[in-house]
Amino acid sequence: MFFETVWKLITRYGNFFFEGLRNTLLIAIMAVALGTVLGALMALCRMSNIKPLRWLATAYIEFFRGTPLMVQLMFIFYGLPMIGISFPEISFIPDFQRFMAGIVAMSLNSCAYVAEVIRSGIQAVDPGQMEAARSLGFKKGEAMKMVVLPQAIKNILPALGNEFVTVIKESSVVSVIGIADLMFRTNGVKAKTYSTLECLFVAALLYFVTTFVFSKLVSLMERRMSHDRK
């Protein structure tokens, strides 16, 4: 009976679930992409010899890692308009303000974690690599860009993959501000059918399949990069 109801939900409301999954993946991809770029800059600031930059980066990382994502999302969506900062409305993109608030909140949160991942990856590279590059006439920035960072990327790829998987799961919090992600659509189907457990099972199944496939892709990339080192 349980799985029969699950199958009926998938066949009847599959478009709702998959629309929500599409929005979830869109938010996750944008959040990780922006979070990685910002995280790289934040990691460099954290390792900088300039104390104000280092202190600012440390404060940012500790704040966003030490506070709940839900609070950060609520502050950005409800708090920023109260002080006169709001995202523009775009008529041909429904709920653009909500999506932007969700993406910004997820990106800023992901940035804090990615910054620590990148910092640890850079520090894992043998310091002799930097010294060798400097001895060949590279400036510090050039040595970091052309010698250290390419090696660090190989070290941090699994952790970045895990971060993407984590963001996919944590993105469910954006449903509280009305973004039509997977959990929002699941709640909508629950309200129509009163099949609470079955709807949650479908959502859990979609989350699992998505994260499992991506985890396998990251593992494949990791094995190929490990093979290239030999």
> What is the amino acid identity at position 141?
G
Q: Which two tokens stand for residue 223?
A: 């094995």
DSSP assignment of 69-92 equals HHHHHHIIIIIHHHTT--PPP-TT
Q: Which two tokens stand for residue 139?
A: 């400036």
Domain regions of the chain by residue span: 21-182
> What is the amino acid identity at position 30?
M
Task: Answer yes or no: are the C-beta atoms of 175 and 183 closer than 8 Å.
Answer: yes
DSSP SS3 for 98:
helix
User: In this predicted structure, what is the pLDDT of residue 186?
Assistant: 92
User: In this predicted structure, what is the pLDDT of residue 227?
Assistant: 61
User: In this predicted structure, what is the pLDDT of residue 217?
Assistant: 85
CA 168 to the chain's CA centroid: 7
How do the pLDDT tens digits run along the chain, 230 residues long? 888 899 999 999 999 999 999 999 999 999 989 998 999 899 889 988 888 999 999 999 999 999 999 999 999 988 888 888 877 777 656 678 888 889 999 999 999 999 998 888 888 777 777 778 778 777 777 777 777 777 777 778 878 888 888 899 888 899 888 888 899 999 999 999 888 999 999 999 999 999 999 888 888 877 776 665 55
pTM: 0.84
Please state which architecture CATH assigns to domain 21-182: Orthogonal Bundle (1.10)
User: In this predicted structure, what is the pLDDT of residue 139?
Assistant: 79
